[in-house]
A and B are shown apart, each in its own frame.
Chain A
């Protein structure tokens, strides 16, 4: 059996999801229960569920991987997502919850009651959700294939069925509980990896960590040189690989060099503005504001 620990965690998560769905499906009796968990969810629980959305595959794996390959410039992907939540809190949360609808489309339809507006919002919601969902599913499929060698298509279909089951039977309540479980697990793992990495690789010293990172040639640069790539891949461990790459490319930028991998000024502004207002417009984030009892709680 390959990676029994991975299989153990998969079993735990699938089991927890099924139990949560079964538990919440019993208490979903009205449309409000299904769509917005009856507006009775404590704001703390909704907040933790939002953390679960923030710590998705894109940020937990994608951003971390991007920084490790391209260097510290890519930290703006993480900061950009965070900026979106500031926009949500300061500009959107209270007024949106106050409108009193199930979805953003309903809220805008109340303000602009034209069928064309509703159709446009529905199309944009589907487009945004599809573009958001596809990379997440793709990431999950590739991860399962990489870690335990499961068939990519089977994993995608299996996950799609599982997600559909818990949404159809459990509604927003099941979604929120599952997000809370996901957030708690990912946050715990994030803290563990950080503490473990700091203690094992740099003896808990921040100075040593910065020194180490300041010596790394980003793989996006080292990988373009065949001789370096070959030498790095044959290094016995990560520390040796870092030293070998630096010896072969002494003048190359480090992982801490600013402004190397960042695109032009216009592209940078475009990226961060899109991250702030794009995150603030995500339908699955906005609908969570309807789950709390009042605009003040939102």
Chain B
């Protein structure tokens, strides 16, 4: 494994900056994961009444589930702006 080109971008960083970047990544993932798991939970039979409410001609649960994609796009935009 000696000829693998290792670029230690993180090792060059100030520890405070590194910690901020790690916090940003974990924070953004936490936001995504909370939204994601919440949408998954309302798909279960216990929340059927709520998830079946019509919204834009579709069940609300389905719309919120599809919302995972735009939410992730927003998170990715924030990530690419602040991570650099």
Contacts and interface: CB of A to CB of B under 8 A. Distances in A.
Interface string B1-26: 10111111111000000000000011
Contacts of A264: 44-45
A259 B51 contact: yes
Given A269-B37, A272-B36, A75 B5 contact: no
A90 B23 CA distance: 10
Contact of B57 (A75, A100, A210, A276): A210
A30 B1 CA distance: 10
A244 interface: no
Contacts, number: 126
Nearest to B21: A94
A276 B44 contact: no
Most buried by B among A106, A259, A272: A259
Nearest to A267: B44
B57 A91 contact: no
Interface residues of A, number: 47
Nearest to A265: B44
Most buried by A among B39, B44, B79: B44
Nearest to A75: B65
A93 B1 CA distance: 19
Interface residues of B, number: 42
A72 B43 CA distance: 10
A257 B65 contact: no
A168 to B, nearest CB: 20
A101 to B, nearest CB: 6
A207 B57 contact: yes
Given A31-B1, A101-B1, A262-B44, 19 more contacts: A39-B4, A39-B5, A75-B62, A75-B65, A76-B43, A79-B39, A79-B68, A82-B69, A89-B76, A89-B79, A90-B26, A90-B29, A100-B5, A101-B4, A259-B47, A259-B48, A262-B45, A272-B36, A272-B40
Interface of A: 30-32, 36, 39, 72-73, 75-76, 79, 82-83, 86-87, 89-91, 94-95, 98-102, 106, 207, 210, 256-260, 262-265, 268-269, 271-273, 276, 290, 293-296
11 contacts: A39-B5, A83-B32, A83-B36, A86-B29, A86-B32, A257-B52, A258-B43, A262-B45, A268-B41, A276-B36, A294-B9
Q: 4 closest pairs, A vs B, by CB?
A: A100-B6, A259-B48, A294-B7, A258-B61
